[in-house]
């Protein structure tokens, strides 16, 4: 029985290692190198190819992140889920003023081209909205979500 358990654990470990190796094999080595330089401290790294971009999901200090790289191994964008109280005060004030009657959730901090935006889902009167808010509190996009 002990030999069977040890054998199964060994096969499981090999399978997981092969799966991770297959994910990375599909990613351009330049992109892997750029990611390693930028995020050498990343843990739980998982790669996917999404159209023209390589998407990498990873964690830092138990915080989940997503990053996208283009074919030239340039970091295009990063995103992470955050809590309401992690939003800048100006964003909170905008939500309290302009969306006081809405239920807000799904707070995501997005960084792209050295610019940070906050994506927020809001539900008001059975309408779902997707908001993008600048750190200064300006609502830059309002989109209805089905």
Which pLDDT tens digit goes with each residue over 14-55? 444 434 444 577 899 999 999 999 999 999 999 999 999 999
Q: What are the residue ranges in the chain where pLDDT is below 50? A: 1-22
Cβ–Cβ under 8 Å, residues 117 and 141: no
CA gap 101, 126 in Å, rounded: 11
Domains of the chain, with CATH numbers? 2-76 (3.10.450.360), 84-145 (3.10.450)
CA gap 27, 45 in Å, rounded: 13
The DSSP secondary-structure symbol of 70 reads -
Q: How many helices (H) and strands (E) does the chain have?
A: 3, 8
Prediction pTM value? 0.77
Cβ–Cβ under 8 Å, residues 90 and 111: no
Cβ–Cβ under 8 Å, residues 118 and 135: yes
Cβ–Cβ under 8 Å, residues 79 and 109: yes
């Amino acid at each position: 029985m002990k030999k069977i358990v040890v054998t199964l654990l060994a096969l499981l470990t090999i399978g997981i290692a092969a799966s991770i190796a297959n994910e990375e094999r599909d990613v351009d080595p330049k992109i892997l190198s750029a990611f390693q330089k930028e995020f050498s401290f990343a843990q739980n790294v998982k790669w996917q190819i999404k159209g023209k971009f390589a998407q990498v999901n990873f964690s830092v200090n138990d915080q989940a992140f997503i990053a996208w790289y283009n074919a030239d191994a340039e970091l295009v964008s990063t995103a992470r889920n955050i809590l309401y109280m992690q939003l800048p005060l100006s964003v909170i004030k905008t939500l309290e003023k302009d969306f006081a009657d809405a239920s807000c959730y799904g707070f995501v901090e997005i960084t792209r081209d050295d610019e940070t935006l906050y994506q927020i889902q809001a539900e008001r009167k059975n309408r779902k909205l997707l908001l993008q808010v600048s750190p200064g509190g300006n609502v830059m996009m309002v989109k209805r979500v089905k």
